Amino acid sequence: MNLLIPHGRSADKYLVKAAQDMGHRVHLLCNLNESDRAGEVGQCCLPDVWTRIKSRYELKISHEEYMAWYYNIMRDYVIEYKIDAILPCSSMDLVVNEVAKINEEFDLPGIRPEQAAFFGDKTVYLPAMEAAGIRVPKTYEIVEPNDEPKAYERHSYPVIAKPGLGCGGFGIFRAQTKESLEWFFGPSDNPEGFSDRALFYQDRDVAGEPKSYLHLGYGGRYIVQEYIEGPCISIAGTTVNGNLKLDMAYDIGITPPPTCAEISFGYPSTNRGAIGASQRLVDDLQASPITFPDGAWMADAILKDGELWLVDFAPRMSSSGTKMMYHACGDLSYASNVIIATLKDELWKWHWGLAGGMRHRVFYSFIPFPKGRITNIKYPEIEDHQLVEVATPVADDDRLFEMRNDVQVADRGWLVAVSDTDSKTNVQELVESYIAGIRYDVDSG
């Protein structure tokens, strides 16, 4: 299949490699120059078709003009190269609205405009998730661009203020008092120091301390929430037919307050209970009335009292997690899961020659086992043609088990249950009963 990475960066080399290993042809639109292409991306692989796209600073046009130009570039590319799917890559936030419009116009799998609009702004989806019963920090205030300074009397301090549109952990501020929050949102004394490329004012307050915050006039809103103290956990997974699956959990290191910017990542998570809390959060998201686009997703959350409090969500691939998994143990399973989840029905038709008419499907893109040395595997027989199992084409003694998290490894393959009449729960139980029927020896060492 022809797969397009819409705004490629060096982090997407793992997505490129996974797609090529699965037999797909990868196209990449990218702002990188030739040395970056050969150096950063070439360390792992090179896409089949590389197209360098100029930046808006080269074109000397506004942000709005540039996005319209980029949309037309992608649209023409989809037509010319007969693209089958646009992958939700690590940097797709930058072009997610344009990708969503193209997906809808050409009926490609993946995110749609209404989903892109919902998940694109924390000031929209975090209050909605709070209303849906998801554990999120209490939302106190939505601050509009160019609002007059307010007196934030009703909040319980400390609070944390963050830009709705996000900026990689930047533009975040923890306020211990209402006076510091009023100062944070107050007018700048140095507007000529604003750079729309850096998105920041650089200024000093009355005490001579540095003052730095995201420029509200750029178009973004700010959300003010209660400050929850605890380790930051990032979780990443995939969605197929609206069903969310957890792929991994890892730790995020952040700078001390007041800025709280992301600076480091660690895989797997070393925080006790993080894996179980991550799965419970995924279950809560699944049970909510919110609909999720097929493909990749990632979320950041704070671990407190054994539970995760959601602070960010994005329908795209987690670049940090993918890089860590690959460098830690050569594991490209998450990148592969992203591709499989995005293609959904198209993968079925392409890989197994199956056509529509199947109402309920449960899809496992790896076969889970407890962590340890697994030997003497015996899979059950497939009954009633409802379960399809595609395993690694190697002898049992040669199987390579891939690290999934700190309690689990996986045998590469697929487990798929299909039914025209049964409920989704029954189909899920069929898969789980098949997994329970696998016999093996394990040495947890």
Q: Which has more confidence, 108 or 442?
A: 108
pLDDT at 313: 95
**Mean pLDDT along residues 292-303:** 94
Q: Which has more confidence, 5 or 426?
A: 5
DSSP readout, 221-252?
-EEEEE---S-EEEEEEEEETTEEEEEEEEEE
Both tokens of 133, joined, read: 């019963």
User: Taking the CB of residue 327, how many other CB atoms lie within 10 A of it?
Assistant: 11
Residues 181-195 have pLDDT tens digits of 888 887 666 655 555
Beta bridge partners of 414: 390
Q: Which has more confidence, 234 or 388?
A: 234
d(CA 191, CA 173): 19
The pair phi, psi for residue 357, each rounded to 5°, is 95, -5
* Residue linked to tokens 């399973």: 333
Q: Which has more confidence, 426 or 284?
A: 284
Beta bridge partners of 253: 264
- Provide the CA 220 distance to its chain's centre, in angstroms: 21
Arithmetic mean of pLDDT over the chain = 78
Residues 239-274 have pLDDT tens digits of 988 888 888 888 888 777 766 667 677 777 878 889
Please check the confidence at residue 197 and state whether its pLDDT lies above 50: no
Q: Which has more confidence, 52 or 149?
A: 52
Name the pTM for this structure.
Answer: 0.74
Cβ(413)–Cβ(276) below 8 Å: no
| Cis amide prior to 268 (ω within 30 degrees) | yes
The pair phi, psi for residue 307, each rounded to 5°, is -125, 155
* Residue linked to tokens 């209490």: 138
Residues 265-276 have pLDDT tens digits of 777 787 888 988
- Provide the CA 95 distance to its chain's centre, in angstroms: 14
